[in-house]
Chains A and B, each alone.
Chain A
Amino acid sequence: MSGVRERNASAWLLPADGTTTNHQLREDMRRYPTTDTVDAVVIGCGAGGGTMLQRLARAGWKVVGFDAGPFWDPDRDWVSDEAGSHQLFWNDPRVISGADPVPLGSNNSGRGVGGSMVHFAGYVPRFHPSDFQTHTLDGVGADWPIAYDDLEPYYGQIEGELPVAGEDWPWGRPHSYPHRPHPVGGNGEVFQRGANAIGLPTRVGPVAIANGRFGHRNHCIYRGFCLQGCKVNAKASPLITHIPDALDHGAEIRSDSMVTRIVTDEHTGKATGVEYVSDGVAHFQPADVVIVAGYSIETPRLLLNSASKRFPDGLCNDFDLVGRYLMVQGAPQTAGRMDQEVRMYKAPPPEVSCEEYYETDPTKPYKRGYSIQTVSPLPITWSEHLTAQGYWGTELRRRMSDYVHWASLGALCELLPLPGNRVTLDEQKDRHGLPVANMSYSMCDNDRQLLRAAQSTMEDVLNAAGASETVTIQRFAHLVGGARMATSERDGVVDADCRSFAVPNLYISDGSVLPTQGSANPALTIMSLAARAADRLARHG
């Protein structure tokens, strides 16, 4: 691991005494006055922004990272409790619409330093090589302006820095992981048993949870609260994997600071900095480079809210592409009742995966595919699985009392990028007086076929494992697109290096740049794209 420490010492900058936060490092953080023009501002300190900050700070840039939420101290701010973790999500108002409106909140939004990786399950699969050219190969989606080969070295870097634990990976381009797989709990055992019975291969991992010694991070204690913020410091998020090293190299984090507008110069056509609100007071921070990393809803919203004389329909929106081609994954979850006690709340929810049906199968009527993973809902979330079946009252209570006997699987279906799925500005305003985002979503026929196929496979697995009963809940997960990368300004908002076509010193470094989503959880790809963009930015300016 010495190579990791040389490029990113975050894990060694955490306290070694069992606590989670290096308070001294935060107290000593460099602070730039708003009268100084910094080299770059990064808007959002999640997967994309956190990685970008660390890389640019390492390259000697003077950088300031803004986050609308807090600079978390897991010891003090987080609880080992489902309802008590509500503050980790983006709870500012948003409107959802379309034929298949997508509930937001816990499964696709974050707030605070670390972003939604603070409460993501922890799965960090790579995309497959075919993901980068679905239009050419399958006639659906879009081709990326980069190939798997361009991203591969960065996948390797980030997997070392998180670090990732898992078995050798046979799917996509086969690869290995730096840490060996974690032991499997009851839910993972059921998945393995059922899949094995029907000849479906599975693998343990890949999860961003260190298995063994890694810097000063503590070992996972298998308490099952990955989705509530890891109080242990075992599961990765930029808060502990990239921000400490960024601070150590002179980056400033301005938390609880909501960027409200990107300012551009009408004459030069360049961005000059950002307006932001902190403690109710408006400020302006000038910068040579502006990097937006607010994720697929807030990034388009900020661009649309930054309209100017030159950009009357929103920044970078000359071709009506900002906010479009937004994607979520179809994520039905199917659970099965086992004779044995499963107690799926024990062990991390992310345990075992299967990517056998990830890509297009020419014998099927639909294009692209889905992956299957263990998910392990805690009681409140499990109640949603049962209320979705229509249970309430006494019947709900009785069925809930059988919680320990249920195993649960989740699918990620590659819903296709469609122009009508988009973020626009709503009439409603937030507390800063800014229009909130309206997110519209409607599925196409291919999408619905994938959902049915995935559910059917999960039922087959659970039945083969011995389930006496199965229940399925329809839902969505993750979020990407909305400012996609492309080879030309008529097809996308940014180029292959994440630089916007319209404003030469404006970059987007988050999930919004993804042209397609595969059926992989997006965090690793978002971080790897950010690491690549930072590399090219620092080298070529």
Chain B
Amino acid sequence: MSPALPYPRFPGFDVMAQADHWDPVTRDLVESRLDPGTAASFFSLTERRAAGALVNRLTGQDDEQMVPVLPMLEARLAAGTTDGWHYQKLPHDADAWRQSLLHLDADAQARHGADFADCSPEEQNQLLEDLQGLGDDEWHGLWMHGIWSLWMRYVCAEFYSHPLAWQEIGFPGPAFPRGYKNIGLDRREGAEVPQAHPEQGSEPHA
């Protein structure tokens, strides 16, 4: 698959180059995300294969992982760090994750005779597109829209907590204790980089 972005939108922008200017508590936390390890902590082997493929598709990542979402996701689920609330009509987050991954494999088997992880990226994307299309309908007895938002909420919370993801979108990260001096339209700090090809609008193309 082609990389998610056709070209770097903030060429030369380096978030971690500013880390020396961050407070130590924040710096330790952000640096810990650079190498979250691979210790399997929550999913079964089967679930983990499906989860790995799912988060890759949802974050537009191919085999080369810019952000290691899976170990971060698994660590969070293992720690039981939920957002507290859950919808009455859905299982608890951890159960909803496990059940939905099994259903994903079942769907892939029914359509392609293979587990979700063994389908091609195109097949995986098509399966997901169809699931998203269910909207508020039920999927194997689960409220599909609720499952879709649960996936996206967990996956994006990990992906966009990573400094390389910040770099991709031009966001400098903690900015503490230094703060910002140049606020306002079209104003930048020394370490900020202008976006390449702003005339291409909200979706860059080659």
Show the binding face of A for B, using Cβ within 8 Å: 75-76, 78-84, 86, 89-97, 101, 103-106, 109, 183-186, 189-190, 220-225, 231-232, 337-343, 345-347, 378-380, 382-384, 387, 390, 392-405, 438-439, 468-469
Near A by CB (< 8 A), chain B positions 106-148 give 125, 128, 132
B86 touches A93 (CB 8 A): yes
25 contacts between A and B (CB under 8 A): A75-B23, A79-B26, A82-B160, A82-B161, A95-B87, A96-B85, A101-B87, A104-B85, A105-B84, A185-B184, A221-B175, A223-B179, A225-B175, A231-B23, A232-B176, A340-B185, A341-B195, A343-B183, A379-B171, A380-B156, A383-B159, A387-B156, A392-B60, A398-B4, A399-B203
Contacts A81-B26, A394-B4; A400 near B169 (Cβ below 8 A): yes
A380 touches B161 (CB 8 A): yes
Chain B residues within an 8 Å CB radius of A232: 176-177, 179
Those 9 A-B pairs whose CB atoms lie nearest each other, nearest first:
A221-B179, A80-B176, A83-B161, A80-B174, A394-B60, A397-B4, A185-B183, A97-B88, A383-B156
Q: Report the minimal beta-carbon distance from B31 to chain A, rounded to whole angstroms.
A: 11
B29 touches A81 (CB 8 A): yes
Chain A residues within an 8 Å CB radius of B149: 387
B166 interface contact, C-beta 8 A: yes
Stretch at the interface among B34-42, B95-103, B186-194: B186-194
A514 to B174, CA, bound (A): 37
Q: Report the minimal beta-carbon distance from A327 to chain B, rounded to whole angstroms.
A: 17
B189's nearest neighbour on chain A, judged by CB, is: A346
Chain A residues within an 8 Å CB radius of B168: 397, 400-401
Interface centre among B85, B86, B204 (most CB of A within 10 A): B85
A343 to B184, CA, bound (A): 8
Chain A residues within an 8 Å CB radius of B180: 221-224, 346-347
A469's nearest neighbour on chain B, judged by CB, is: B202
Chain A residues within an 8 Å CB radius of B57: 392-393
B4 touches A384 (CB 8 A): no
Interface range on chain B (Cβ under 8 Å from partner): 35 or more
B169 touches A401 (CB 8 A): yes
Majority SS of interface residues in chain B? loop
Show the binding face of B for A, using Cβ within 8 Å: 4-6, 9, 22-23, 25-26, 29-30, 57-60, 81-89, 125, 128, 132, 149, 152-153, 156-161, 165-166, 168-188, 192, 194-195, 198, 201-204
Interface centre among A94, A101, A379, A380 (most CB of B within 10 A): A379
Q: Report the minimal beta-carbon distance from B14 to chain A, rounded to whole angstroms.
A: 16
A86's nearest neighbour on chain B, judged by CB, is: B81
Q: Report the minimal beta-carbon distance from A198 to chain B, rounded to whole angstroms.
A: 19
A397 to B168, CA, bound (A): 9
A86 to B153, CA, bound (A): 13
A74's nearest neighbour on chain B, judged by CB, is: B25
B60 touches A393 (CB 8 A): yes
Contacts A95-B88, A343-B192, A398-B5; A80 near B23 (Cβ below 8 A): yes
Interface centre among B84, B152, B159, B203 (most CB of A within 10 A): B84
A186 touches B5 (CB 8 A): no
B66's nearest neighbour on chain A, judged by CB, is: A397
A183 to B179, CA, bound (A): 14
Contacts A80-B174, A89-B83, A397-B5; A341 near B60 (Cβ below 8 A): no
B85 touches A404 (CB 8 A): no
Q: Report the minimal beta-carbon distance from A361 to chain B, rounded to whole angstroms.
A: 32
Contacts A400-B169, A401-B169; A384 near B58 (Cβ below 8 A): no
A82's nearest neighbour on chain B, judged by CB, is: B161
B174's nearest neighbour on chain A, judged by CB, is: A80
Chain B residues within an 8 Å CB radius of A82: 160-161
A342 touches B85 (CB 8 A): no
B85 touches A221 (CB 8 A): no
Chain B residues within an 8 Å CB radius of A90: 84
Q: Report the minimal beta-carbon distance from A222 to chain B, rounded to whole angstroms.
A: 5
Q: Report the minimal beta-carbon distance from A481 to chain B, rounded to whole angstroms.
A: 18
B128 touches A404 (CB 8 A): no
**A438 partner, pick from B88, B89, B160, beta carbons under 8 A:** B88
B193's nearest neighbour on chain A, judged by CB, is: A404
A92 touches B84 (CB 8 A): yes
A398 touches B203 (CB 8 A): yes
A403 touches B83 (CB 8 A): no
A380 to B203, CA, bound (A): 18
B188 touches A341 (CB 8 A): yes
A96 touches B88 (CB 8 A): yes
A392 touches B128 (CB 8 A): yes
A85 to B201, CA, bound (A): 32
Chain A residues within an 8 Å CB radius of B6: 398
Chain B residues within an 8 Å CB radius of A106: 83
A8 to B156, CA, bound (A): 43
Chain A residues within an 8 Å CB radius of B185: 186, 189-190, 338, 340-342
A81 touches B161 (CB 8 A): yes
A380's nearest neighbour on chain B, judged by CB, is: B160
A289 to B185, CA, bound (A): 53
Contacts A109-B84, A390-B132, A398-B4; A379 near B152 (Cβ below 8 A): no
Chain B residues within an 8 Å CB radius of A394: 4, 60
Q: Report the minimal beta-carbon distance from A300 to chain B, rounded to whole angstroms.
A: 16
Given contacts A80-B22, A81-B173, 14 further A-B contacts (CB under 8 A): A80-B23, A91-B84, A101-B87, A186-B184, A186-B186, A190-B185, A221-B180, A223-B178, A223-B179, A225-B176, A393-B4, A393-B59, A401-B5, A404-B169
B153 touches A79 (CB 8 A): no
A337 touches B153 (CB 8 A): no
A103 touches B83 (CB 8 A): yes
A346 to B182, CA, bound (A): 8
Chain A residues within an 8 Å CB radius of B201: 337, 402, 468-469
B165's nearest neighbour on chain A, judged by CB, is: A379
**A224 partner, pick from B83, B175, B203, beta carbons under 8 A:** B175
B80's nearest neighbour on chain A, judged by CB, is: A91
A184 to B180, CA, bound (A): 12
A105 to B158, CA, bound (A): 17
A439 to B82, CA, bound (A): 17
A224 to B174, CA, bound (A): 9
Q: Report the minimal beta-carbon distance from B84 to chain A, rounded to whole angstroms.
A: 4
Q: Report the minimal beta-carbon distance from A8 to chain B, rounded to whole angstroms.
A: 27
Chain A residues within an 8 Å CB radius of B184: 183-186, 189
**A94 partner, pick from B9, B84, B171, beta carbons under 8 A:** B84
Chain A residues within an 8 Å CB radius of B159: 383
